[in-house]
Amino acid sequence: MKLADRVQFFSRLQELNPQPTTELLYSGPFELLIAVMLSAQATDRSVNLATRRLFALANTPAALLALGETALKAEISSIGLYHTKARHILQTCRLLVDQHDGVVPAQREALEALPGVGRKTANVVLNTAFGWPVVAVDTHIFRLANRTGLAPGKTPLAVEKALMKAVPPAFLRDAHHWLILHGRYVCKARAPSCGQCVLRSLCGYRQKTPNPKR
């Protein structure tokens, strides 16, 4: 995709949503970190329902440690993989208390050293909590980047690297949120709403498919 098209691509998304952000509910970097850890293979809606209760009880590393594993599991039992997630959350809380004075670090290496925190989770926290111009590639962004031709790649890391080159610098801070929301609600996996898409004239999928599903 040519530079002029990429600028137009993100200009259209920006016009629709000038101040995009995550649909996860949180207050501060720690709540965001926990919400993102819980969101793996779960919907933001289900996470928000659980964290609304959980954060009312405990929303600091020390408080979650004091809450304990049994009570934590009870609060997040509606979320998939909650046994593993509870263990990782408490291990992460212990490291935050012991090594970071209870504060979520704003460095990639330190974030990825936390149990249950991979590159995607670290990128979400770095971007959303700390303003880093990075893109966390989830299934929606992976699909959209390949389908539209914006940043093709065979793996999430390949797509992330391609996006870092493809997204014009002026749009990089918010690109993650624009892409994930567009992939979630418009450029859907099984039935993309091409007829309602503001990017349709720039999209490789649209150009290759004469009558895509609307």
- Which sign, positive or negative, has the C-alpha torsion 63, 65, 71, 72? positive
- Give the other-Cβ count within 10 Å of 78's Cβ: 12
Indicate the pTM of the whole model: 0.89
pLDDT at residue number 204: 80
DSSP one-letter code for 198: T
- Amino acid at site 1: M
**Structural domains present in the chain:** 3-20+135-208 (1.10.1670.10), 29-128 (1.10.340.30)
pLDDT at residue number 68: 95
Q: Which residues of the chain have pLDDT under 50?
A: 209-214
pLDDT at residue number 1: 83
- The DSSP-derived string for 131-186 is --------HHHHHHHHHHSSS--SSHHHHHHHHHHHS-GGGHHHHHHHHHHHHHHT
Q: How far apart are CA 136 and CA 158, in angstroms?
A: 12
Q: How far apart are CA 89 and CA 92, in angstroms?
A: 5
Active site amino acids: 120, 138
